[in-house]
Structure 1
Amino acid sequence: MNITDVRVRKVAKQGKMRAIVSITIDNEFVVHDIKVIEGDKGLFIAMPSKKSVDGEYRDIAHPINSDTRRLLQDTILKAYDEASDEVIDSRPVETEAAPTGVGSLF
């Protein structure tokens, strides 16, 4: 597995999240919404997750072994360190609902 692209969007400091990252694997598969989090022991990554009915967050996609997790984390944190200091506002933005119909999934 090769991580062929890493896109880092640093966010304004509003808590512990520092960036939102997308990675491309082997120029064929993309994983969006990986978070860079500032923890008590430094930066770490949190894989994309969804809140379940019982209120717990469950990963949508994640590595299945520690070597792959380490590869992802090392690659993402290196890209985070090298990224510009330009930040985006991570607060939710109200938008109009997208029209349904042709080209829409919903």
Structure 2
Amino acid sequence: MQITDIKVRKFFEEGPMKAIASVTFDDCLAVHDVKVIYARDRYFIVMPSRKNPDGTYRDIVHPINSDFRCALEEAVIDAYHVQLVASQHDEENEDNAVII
């Protein structure tokens, strides 16, 4: 299974959650609401989950082995950084825009 697309849909400046991403696999399966978290001096991802009646959370979808989890985490975090820089560059260009 190959990651064929990653879209970072929302960015957050405040708090440990930095972004929410959608990941597409083999151009045929999309997983939404993958969270990019920065805590304890590192980035990591949190898979989509739901809250159980007892207050605990359970992943809706998750990697089965650590190799795939590492590859997924690296790809999502790399995409986050690329898209963050691109969005900051776009904001700088808007700030420097001349209106005629």
With the shorter chain as reference, the TM-score category is 0.7 to 0.9
TM-score scaled to structure 1, two decimals?
0.76
Matches within 5 A, 1:44-55: 44-55=44-55
Q: CA deviation at 1:15?
A: 1.3
Compare relative contact order (CA 8 Å, sep 6+) and give the higher one, 1 or 2. Answer: 1
Higher helix share: 2
Matches within 5 A, 1:6-25: 6-25=6-25
Query: Distance in 2 between the 1:66 and 1:41 partners?
Result: 21
Query: Distance in 2 between the 1:55 and 1:61 partners?
Result: 18
8 A Cα contact 1:10 1:85, kept in partner: no
TM-score scaled to structure 2, two decimals?
0.81
> Matched residue pairs, number?
86
Query: Distance in 2 between the 1:23 and 1:51 partners?
Result: 22
Aligned position for 1:57:
57
CA-atom RMSD in angstroms? 1.2
Query: Distance in 1 between the 2:3 and 2:61 partners?
Result: 15
Query: Distance in 2 between the 1:11 and 1:78 partners?
Result: 14
Provide, for residues 42-83 of structure 1, a one-character-per-residue CA deviation record: whole Å limited to 9, x for no partner: 110000010101101110000010001001001101111110
Aligned position for 2:87:
85
- The one-letter code sitting in structure 2 at the alignment partner of 1:53 is P
User: Percent of aligned pairs with the same residue?
Assistant: 49
Aligned position for 2:34:
34
Query: Distance in 2 between the 1:71 and 1:12 partners?
Result: 23
- Report the 3-state secondary structure (helix = DSSP H, G, I; strand = E; otherwise coil) of the residue aligned with 1:85: helix
- Report the 3-state secondary structure (helix = DSSP H, G, I; strand = E; otherwise coil) of the residue aligned with 1:14: coil
Query: Distance in 2 between the 1:22 and 1:85 partners?
Result: 17
